[in-house]
Amino acid sequence: MATKKTASSKKSVATTKAKSNKVTTVKAVSATSSNRLPVLGSVKTPQVSAAVAEFVGTFILAAAVIASQGQPVLVLFALVGAVLAVGAASGAHLNPAITVAAWATRKMTAVRALVYIVAQVLGAMLALVVLNAFVGQAPDVSSQASMLGQGAQELFKATAIPAGKEWTLILAELMGAAIFGFAFASARKQVTRLSKAFTIGLGFFLALLVAGSAAAAISGMTILNPAVAVALQAIDFNSVWPVAIYVLATVVGAAGGFVLNDLLGVDADA
């Protein structure tokens, strides 16, 4: 009986030691993990993640618009790709007009909207700076190439606003933004990320097709995104017209598209 009791006691002590060692090991691993990235762990909140996603997504979109020289089909796929890349983190607004429209229709808070807009504008500005730096490193055009009509490389940018046609361009931008705002608001009810991304991309393509054709008739250009307008160097604060066309008209149009979507009874998640 004593032998059995002694064996049982030894077994109990061994089990207790094993459990103690296991707990100590787990605590050590946890402590190591917590000390590995303390800074990132402290700032990794949904709002910060969403802001970073908007920054990165708008950078990608603005860079793609500049690189593709605003070709609607290429912009479509660029927007689809950007939405798929960052949509899970932020909803992929990538456009201050869309963010203001979402805030105006009470689909997001004012603080979150402000954070989004700042991130979007900074992302677009960074795209302009980075691509401009690459173009600045391009070799100089030789005199022989210049005679053959080959000019120095320049970034794609918005065309000048045609004089006397400002109000017509405002209407074109307003119409295109309303189409895109309606499509974006409709995309919010899509079940899969892929369907949402293509709804947004195709909506923007249709908006560019309609509004762009109207603007091209008067030798103008539609952008439908205030942040991208910054990247395309379309915003000039020395004149009221660029701000009225590429910021105010775009925001009002997008908000109108959201309101129309709500009036049709399409449910949208916040």
- Report yes or no on 39 lying in a domain: no
Pair of tokens at residue 107: 């689909």
- Report yes or no on 226 lying in a domain: yes
Write out pLDDT tens, residues 173-206: 999 999 999 999 999 888 899 999 999 999 999 9
Write out pLDDT tens, residues 28-42: 434 444 444 444 444
Pair of tokens at residue 57: 């997504």
Write out pLDDT tens, residues 140-151: 655 544 555 555
- Report yes or no on 247 lying in a domain: yes
Confidence of residue 119 (pLDDT cuts 50, 70, 90): very high
CA distance linking residue 95 with residue 228, whole number of Å: 8
CA distance linking residue 93 with residue 55, whole number of Å: 10
Write out pLDDT tens, residues 74-100: 999 999 999 999 999 999 999 999 999
Q: Total structural domains in the chain?
A: 1
- Report yes or no on 48 lying in a domain: yes
Backbone angles phi, psi at 32, to 5 degrees: -65, -45
- Report yes or no on 82 lying in a domain: yes
- Report yes or no on 238 lying in a domain: yes
Do 179 and 203 form a contact (C-beta atoms < 8 A)? yes
- Report yes or no on 182 lying in a domain: yes
Pair of tokens at residue 72: 């609607």
CATH code, domain carrying 208: 1.20.1080.10
Which structural domain, as residue segments, surrounds residue 116?
A: 44-135+155-263
Radius of gyration of the chain (CA): 27
